[in-house]
């Protein structure tokens, strides 16, 4: 398992992702019924997304403070964020949900934020130093 000493940019990107994802998760948990209405999704799905995002955000934020990271884990997080953006856009273009204009704005805004997190994580990973075994 290859480990890295994270570059300051990677630490920042993980903390930013952590705060943003945790906050979005808490908002989804607190407003799952209104969020479901805006997003055109069942409230249980919005609630499950809120739980996931809050937990994910806490984990990634915690990673931002670690002295060393497993390179593959950081790569998986950055790639997962890129996949989340793609999935958000596919979801908007498909027949699975029926968001109103507020819901479309929410989905596009979170996709843009997650694209930023992913970009910063990939750039920070490239600047990080591999730890010798």
Beta strand 129-130 with 3-5 is antiparallel
Beta strand 129-130 with 69-70 is unpaired
What is the rounded CA–CA span in Å between residue 34 and residue 20?
20
Q: Is the pLDDT of residue 132 over 80?
A: no
What is the rounded CA–CA span in Å between residue 8 and residue 55?
23
Number of domains in the chain: 1
What is the rounded CA–CA span in Å between residue 77 and residue 14?
9
Band (pLDDT 50/70/90 cuts) for residue 25 is very high
Q: Is the pLDDT of residue 43 over 80?
A: yes
Looking at residue 1, what is its pLDDT?
A: 85
Cβ contacts of 80 within 8 Å, gap of 6 or more: none
pLDDT tens-digit series, residues 63-103: 999 999 999 999 999 999 999 999 999 999 999 999 999 99
Helix, strand, coil percentages for the chain (3-state, nearest 5): 75, 5, 20
> Which tokens is 29 given?
């948990």
pLDDT tens-digit series, residues 103-116: 999 999 999 999 99
Q: Give pTM, 2 decimals.
A: 0.93
Boundaries of domain holding 80? 3-130
């Amino acid at each position: 398992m290859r480990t890295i000493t994270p570059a300051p940019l990677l630490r920042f990107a993980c903390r930013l992702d952590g705060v943003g994802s945790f906050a979005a998760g808490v908002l989804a948990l607190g407003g799952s019924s209104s969020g479901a209405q805006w997003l055109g999704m069942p409230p249980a799905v919005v609630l499950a997304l809120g739980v996931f995002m809050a937990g994910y955000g806490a984990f990634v934020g915690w990673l931002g403070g670690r002295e060393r990271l497993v390179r593959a884990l950081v790569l998986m997080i950055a790639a997962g964020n890129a996949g989340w953006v793609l999935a958000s856009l596919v979801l908007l273009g498909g027949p699975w949900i029926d968001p109103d204009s507020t819901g479309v704005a929410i989905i596009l805004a979170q996709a843009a934020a997650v694209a930023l997190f992913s970009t910063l994580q990939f750039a920070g990973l490239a600047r990080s130093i591999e730890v010798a075994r």
